[in-house]
Amino acid sequence: MYILQTKYKLQEFSPMRKHKILTFILSLFLLSCSSEESEPEDCAGEPGGDAVCGCTDSTATNYDSLATFDDGSCEYLLNGIPIKWIRTYEFSSNSGMDESWCVRQASDGGFIIAGATDYTGLLIKTNSNGEEEWHQLYDNSTALYSARQVSDGGFIATGYYECDTLPGCYPDIYLLKTDGAGTIEWEQWIGTAENNDWARDVIETQDDNFVITGTWNDDGWNSKAMLRKYSSSGEFMWGKTFSSSTANEGNSLMETSDGSLIMVGYSGEQHGAYKHFMVKADSDGEQIWKKKTQSVGDALLYAVCEAPSGGYVAAGFCNSWRTNFLVERNGSGNITWENCYIEESSNYGYYDMTPSSDGGYYLIDDVCYLTKTDESGNIIYSVRLNHVNQSVIELEDGDVVIGGFGFREGNSGGPISLLRLDPSVLESNNH
């Protein structure tokens, strides 16, 4: 068959060659039919869709009732303060039984929250927007005061096991290791016979083991601040106690860049005046120095971090529970500066602190005030934020995340809450 003529001659194609040419022509035809322009996407990314983008959260100040797709533009006010978002987490039928004492950032940018619900230990994992990814409940009659993500991607948490409703049973330390989904890998109940013991904080050390601090009571009424170290598999390694009186407790713990340990808390007489208590120990728990001071009235320390100067800044309260307190000690334990903020309203003490990127500090206190100071503890601003009174974190972008369980109308214990704000708004508006 002659199907193609060139200027040279007519060429006759073989059946095989003819089949290939027809296949090629058909492919071109089909391709041309499918190469029509695709439909434009709507704001939700759906081709040909009709989504209306905007803020779909009715609690936001810029709620759009016509929006069908939330584009992340929601804006919120809390006590007149602009915030980026606030999340609440309720598990008990009585939200006053939901409590959180610790929030820390996870390696994926999300957050791990430690607390309790209906007297049962609780961990909550969220994403970077505060949306819950999972939560886990643990042994009955437990509470978790501290949790951190560790080098293997799991979590270490500690608190106490409460059993004093039973004859001859007293609170014990509860130490818990989980995988990245909160599933228990191992747990320990640790304590002395017929005495009260509990842990307030836990850290992972540079050698991938764990150190806890809290109270150890091995001789009746005399409680001691303690450091106890456990291996990555939960085996006891060593324990040390520190006391200057009959009542002593460690509340917060950090490891320094040289592997030393800094513990802060209080020391005083039973039913008497408490004093600020700071201990520096080596990596084996041996005391390097111990400092105890009292400014005005009862005084306790709840949080500690390393100062830009190489010293240590601790936060708590003075003036017999009524006033916030901040102190810096140098590497030898001597006071560099201290502030007992008696002129401020009765804020009942700072519970947590974190260094800010400009060299100052963010602090959160018992009645939900977020305070920003400079590097010497001078207050720049202080604002009231309901629902959050236990933990504060500065993120890489400069935003601040705060967590706790705060207060709400008609209920002294509000839901577990987490919020995020841009602190530059507070400074620019002269709060």
Percent of the chain with pLDDT over 90: 54
Contacts of 395 (CB under 8 A, 6+ apart): 105, 401, 420
- pLDDT, average across residues 354-359: 96
Location of structure tokens 């990596």: 283
Give the whole-angstrom CA distance, residue 412 versus residue 145.
19
Task: Say which range, 29-43, 130-144, 192-206, has the weakest mean pLDDT.
Answer: 29-43
pLDDT tens column, 151-171? 999 999 999 998 655 555 678
CATH H-level, domain 83-428: superfamily: YVTN repeat-like/Quinoprotein amine dehydrogenase (2.130.10.10)
pLDDT bracket for residue 2 (50, 70, 90): very low
140 against 363, higher pLDDT: 363
356 against 274, higher pLDDT: 356
Q: What angle do CA 350, 351, 357 make, to 5 degrees?
A: 80
Q: pLDDT value at position 284?
A: 97
Contact 261, 227 (CB under 8 A): yes
Rounded to an integer, what is the distance from CA 172 to the centroid of its chain? 24
CA atoms within 13 A on the CB side of 214: 27
- pLDDT, average across residues 23-47: 68
User: What is the overall mean pLDDT for the chain?
Assistant: 86
pLDDT bracket for residue 228 (50, 70, 90): very high
Q: What HEC string does the chain produce?
A: CEEEECCCCEEECCHHHHHHHHHHHHHHHHHHHHCCCCCCECCCCCECCCCCEEECCCCCCCECCCCCEECCCCCEEECCEEECEEEEECCCCCHHHEEEEEEEECCCCCEEEEEEECCEEEEEEECCCCCEEEEEEEEECEEEEEEEECCCCCEEEEEEECCCCCCCCCCEEEEEEECCCCCEEEEEEECCCCCCCEEEEEEECCCCCEEEEEEEEEECCEEEEEEEEECCCCCEEEEEEECCCCEEEEEEEEECCCCCEEEEEEEECCCCCEEEEEEEECCCCCEEEEEEECCCCCCEEEEEEECCCCCEEEEEEECCCCEEEEEEECCCCCEEEEEECCCCCCCCCEEEEEECCCCCEEEEECCCEEEEECCCCCEEEEEECCCCCCEEEECCCCCEEEEECCCECCECCCCEEEEEECHHHHHHCCC
Q: CA distances (Å), 10 to each of 1, 17, 52, 139, in order?
A: 10, 15, 63, 91
For residue 9, is pLDDT > 50? no
pLDDT tens column, 256-290? 989 999 999 998 876 557 888 999 999 999 999 99
Tokens representing 127 are 């994403």
Q: Single out the residue of 292, 194, 295, 284 nearest to residue 243, CA to CA.
A: 292
Rounded to an integer, what is the distance from CA 238 to the centroid of its chain? 28
pTM above 0.75, yes or no: yes
Q: pLDDT value at position 10?
A: 41
Sheet with 416-421: strands ordered across:
85-89, 416-421, 400-404, 391-394
Q: pLDDT value at position 271?
A: 55
